[in-house]
Amino acid sequence: MKDYQLMCTSCHSTYEPSRIYPRCCCNEPLEVKIDLVGKRIMEGGSVKQTSLERYFDFLPLKHLKREAMLNEGFTALVGSEQMAETLKVGRLLFKNETQNPTWSFKDRGTAVAIQHALSLGYGKIGTVSTGNMAASVAAYGNKAGLKTYIFVNEGIAEEKLAPVAIYGAHVIKVRGEYDKMYDESLRIGEAHHISFLNSDVPWRVEGSKTIAYEICEQLDFKVPDFVLVPTSSGGNVRGIIKGFEEFYQCGLIEAMPTIVCVQASGCSPIYNAYIKGAKTIERFDNPHTMAHAIGNPYPPSGNQVLRKLAEIKGMVTVVEEGAIIPAQKALASLGIFGQPASAVPLAAVRQLQQQGILTEKDTVVCLASGSGLKHTSVLSKHHLPVHTCNLEDLSAFIGGIK
Ligand SMILES: *Cc1c(COP(=O)(O)O)cnc(C)c1O
Ligand SMILES: [Zn+2]
C-alpha cells in the first residue's frame, strides 16, 4: 500500500487523497506527499513497459487501468554539439515532448489524472483549455470510454477545435471571461461529478514528474546543470522540480539542477513578480504572446512557483516575442518542429549565456514542450521558401541549387 496525502503548498494543511477540490481552503494549490522510503524504479525498459509502469512506485496510484493508457512518455533527449558550440554552452539537450500521443507533455499529466479519476469511480472528465490540454484530455477520455467535457473560450481559432473534437469530446465554447472558467469548472465538477483535470491539479503535477525521472536516467543519473521550462500555469515546472527532488531524496541523484522558468514578454506574470521580489503574482494586463501555450495571465500555480524557486534557488527569465520565431527555426534545424512555446527555452539559452549565467561548463536541458503542427497559423511569419519547377527542367534546376 502506498501512503500519501494531499498537502497545501502554502499553509501545509493536509487533506485526504479523495478530496475532489484540488486547492486548499487558503486557495493555494495542493500537492501529493508520498512516502519515498524504499521506492525504486521498476525493472524493464521502454520496449517492455510504459513510463507509468516504470515509475509506478513513485506515483500516487494503486493500479493502472490499461484501457485508459496511451503509453505516453519515454521521449527522446536529443543533443546538438554544433548548437552547443555556437551558443557557447557545454552540452545542449532537448527533451522532445512532441513525441507524446497527442504531441505535448500534457499527456503525462492526463495519464496520471485519469487513472486517479477512474480510481474514485468517475465516469466523466473535463478540462478548461484551448490547446494541448484539451486534445490530451479528449484523447484519454475517449480511450477510456468516459464522457469528456472541454470548455474553450468563444474566440478560439477553428484550426484548434477539430483536433479536439475528433476524439469525440463535448467541446463547449463558453462566452465570458476565460480566467474565471478555471474556478467555475471546479464548481461544475463538484455539482455534476465531473473530474476536471486542469492545468495544475495535483495528479497532473505527478505526471510531469516523469519528465525529470527520464532526464535523470537518460543522463546516467548525472543531473544537468540547468533545466529550462516554458511556463504558464506552473503545473509542469512544479512536477519537474518535484521529480528531481524525489530522486534526490531517494539518493538516486547527487544534486539538483538549477531550474529556469521561461516566459514570453507578451505574457510574463511570474517573471514580473520574480523580478520585483514579490511573493505573489499579479494578473498580467493585455496578454498577447504568440506562444499561446504559455499565455496564462494569472497562473494558478504562480505563487507556488515563486515559493519553490526561492527555496531551490531557481530562476525566472523572459524572452522577447521577436526572439521566438528565430528560435523555432533553430529548433527545426535539429529536426524538432516545436510550437512557439517549445522554442522559448532555446531563445533563453542565448540570452542567459550572454548574461554569463550559462557557461561552457554547463549541461543545459531545454523542454521542447509540444508540436509545431498544433499551431500552424504562426508559420506564415517564417516566410518559408518553396520552389516550383517543370518536370523536364527539374534536373537542371536541382543542379543549380547552391
Ligand atoms: C501547457 C504547455 C506549457 C505550459 O505548461 P504549464 O504547466 O501550464 O506551466 C508549455 N508548453 C506547451 C506546449 C504546453 O502545452
Ligand atoms: Zn493552504
Q: What is the mean pLDDT of residues 139-155?
A: 94
The percent of residues above 90 in pLDDT, for the chain, comes to 88
Pocket test for ligand 1, best of 132, 290, 308 (most atoms within 8 A of CB): 132
Distance from the alpha carbon of residue 113 to the mean position of ligand 2, in angstroms: 21
- The predicted structure's pLDDT at residue 91: 98
Please tell me which residue, 193 or 402, carries the higher pLDDT value: 193
Q: Atom of ligand 1 at shortest distance to CA of 208?
A: 7
Which ligand minimizes its atom distance to the CA of 106?
A: 1
What the block records as the C-alpha cell of 363 is 549541461
Of 240, 331, 369, the residue with max ligand 1 atoms within 8 A of its CB, to mutate for a pocket test, comes to 369
Mean pLDDT of 334-353: 97
- The predicted-structure confidence for 174-209, as pLDDT tens digits, reads as follows 998 777 888 899 899 999 999 999 999 999 999 999
CB atoms within 10 A of CB 391: 6
307 Cα: distance to centroid of ligand 1 (angstroms): 19
Q: What's the pLDDT at 177?
A: 78
- The reported pLDDT for the residue numbered 1 is 53
Compute the mean pLDDT over every residue in the chain, rounded to the nearest whole number. Answer: 95
Distance, CA of 141 to CA of 126 (rounded, Å): 8
Residues 6 or more apart whose Cβ sits within 8 Å of residue 348: 228, 260, 262, 317, 319
CA of 316 to the centre of ligand 1 (A): 15
* Other beta carbons within 10 Å of 122: 18
Which ligand minimizes its atom distance to the CA of 234? 1
Q: Which atom, in ligand 1's list, is nearest to the CA of 291?
A: 11
Q: How many angstroms separate the CA atoms of 384 and 1, rounded?
A: 55
Among the bound ligands, name the one nearest to the CA of residue 12. Answer: 2
The closest residue, in CA terms, to atom 13 on ligand 1 is 370
pLDDT digits (tens, 9 = 90+) for 210-263: 999 999 999 999 999 999 999 999 999 999 999 999 999 999 999 999 999 999
Per-residue HEC secondary structure of the chain comes to: CCCEEEEECCCCCEECCCCCCCECCCCCEEEEEECCCCCCCCCCCCCCCCHHHHCHHHCCCCCCCHHHCCCCCCCCEEECHHHHHHHCCCEEEEEEHHHCCCCECHHHHHHHHHHHHHHCCCCEEEEECCCHHHHHHHHHHHHHCCEEEEEEECCCCHHHHHHHHCCCCEEEEECCCHHHHHHHHHHHHHHHCCEECCCCCHHHHHHHHHHHHHHHHHCCCCCCCEEEEECCCCHHHHHHHHHHHHHHHCCCCCCCCEEEEEEECCECHHHHHHHHCCCCCCCCCCCCCCCHHHCCCCCCCHHHHHHHHHHHCCEEEEECHHHHHHHHHHHHCCCCCECHHHHHHHHHHHHHHHCCCCCCCCEEEEEECEEHHHCHHHHHHHCCCCCCCCHHHHHHHHHHCC
Pick from 271, 294, 339 the residue to mutate for probing ligand 1's pocket: most ligand atoms within 8 Å of its CB. 294
What is the model's pLDDT at position 157?
77
**CA 370 to centroid of ligand 1, rounded, Å:** 8
What's the whole-model pTM score? 0.97
pLDDT surpassing 80 at residue 155 = no
Asked if pLDDT for residue 120 goes beyond 80, the answer is yes
Ligand 1 centroid–CA 297 distance in Å is 13
